[in-house]
Amino acid sequence: MLKIKNLQVSLNKKMILDKIDLSVDSGTTHVLMGQNGAGKSTLAQSIMGNPNYTVKGELSFDKQDLLELDPQKRAALGIFLSFQQILEIPGVKIYDYLRLLQKKSHDKKLTPLKFKAFLKERMELLSFNESFLTRSLNHGFSGGEKKKLEILQMLVIEPKLIILDEIDSGLDIDAIQAVARAVNFMKQTKGSSVLVITHYSRILSYLNIDRVHLLSKGQLITSGGQDLVEQIEKQGFSQVLAGNQ
């Protein structure tokens, strides 16, 4: 469903990604690993349509060319990105915001009561404190709370493709488990595909992984299965990369 072919991405005329080929089939879970500065977040932002990046090549979702579409249209197709850098939006009440997201992402409207029940169930999945709902979006939240709020938005939108950009950094083990629970819930109930971007293997032990890709200096070096994660975990990025030169 997500198809990337010979993708080239630059920022301020500086090339960041080159010759990227990647396909994520319906219902599968892919992992993108790599060191800091490899270009992982750039790929995620490019898929979502961040206007700062210049993108060439082929990028499509469900056979629709994404390069022509603004971020809103990409979201409407069912793509969701959990951000690494999460911006604070003061004055926007989380409850009202989530209700708006639900309305925008679903044809079927929920009555206020039904929405409340729907939200309660999703919050329980994340062990998310209900008192957060009256606060402003990400405003004054800790790093971990912001990450969980990203996942709560995902649970409300119910996307077809979930891209998690370093969702696990700054999370304690309970929070990582809660996030994994939420992602698995989406996979089971909606058959969502997942692209996990991470440095660490910890969150991967809670998810069923189909494919792992290693990115370095803007290029995909190698792909593999669960064993590639284990190799990286054991040897570190440098040694694995050296072995693939």
Partner 1 sequence: MKQASLKKLNDSYEEKFGFAMPEKSVLSFDFGLSPQIISQISDSKNEPTWMREFRLRSLEVFQSKPMPPWGPDLSEIDFEQIRYFIKDTDIESKSWDDVPAEIKETFDRLGVPQAEREFLAGVKAQYNSEVAYSSLQAELDEQGVIFCSMEEALQKHGELFKKYFATLIPSADNKFAALNSAAWSGGSFVYIPPNTHVKRPLQSYFRINAARMGQFERTLIIADEGSSAHYVEGCTAPVYSEYSLHAAVVEVFVLPKARFRYTTIQNWSGNIYNLVTKRAKVMRDAVMEWVDGNLGAKTTMKYPSCYLVEEGAYGEMLSIAYAKNSQIQDTGAKMLHLAPNTSSKIVAKSVSIAGGTSNYRGLVYIAKVAKNSKSKVECDALILDEKSSTSTYPDMKISGDNAMVEHEASVSEIEEEKLFYLMSRGLDKAEAMTLLVAGFIEPIVKELPLEYAVELNRLIELEMEGSVG
The region of 42-50, 54-62, 114-122, 222-230 touching partner 1 under the rule CB under 8 A is: 42-50
Q: Which amino acid is at 41?
A: S
Cβ closest to partner 1, residue 89 vs residue 242: 89
Give how far Cα 105 sits from Cα of 149, 151, 170, Å: 17, 15, 29
Q: Which of 19, 104, 114, 120 binds partner 1 (CB under 8 A)?
A: 104
Q: Residue 111 carries which DSSP code?
A: P
Can residue 220 be called a binding residue for partner 1 (CB under 8 A)? no
The region of 30-38, 73-81, 222-230, 235-243 touching partner 1 under the rule CB under 8 A is: 73-81
Cβ closest to partner 1, residue 2 vs residue 157: 157
Contact 162, 195 (CB under 8 A): yes
Q: Of 39, 76, 222, give the one whose Cα is nearest residue 161.
A: 76
Sheet with 14-24: strands ordered across: 14-24, 2-11, 53-61, 64-65
Q: Which of 14, 36, 63, 87 binds partner 1 (CB under 8 A)?
A: 87
Q: Which of 5, 15, 67, 70 binds partner 1 (CB under 8 A)?
A: 70
Token pair of 16 as six digits: 């960041």
Can residue 49 be called a binding residue for partner 1 (CB under 8 A)? yes
Can residue 11 be called a binding residue for partner 1 (CB under 8 A)? no
Can residue 153 be called a binding residue for partner 1 (CB under 8 A)? yes
Maximal C-alpha separation, the chain: 58
Residue 33: exposure state from Cβ atoms within 10 A (0-12, 13-18, ≥19): buried
Q: Which residues bind partner 1 (CB under 8 A)?
A: 48-52, 70-72, 74-76, 80-81, 83, 86-87, 89-92, 97, 100-101, 104-105, 136-137, 153, 157
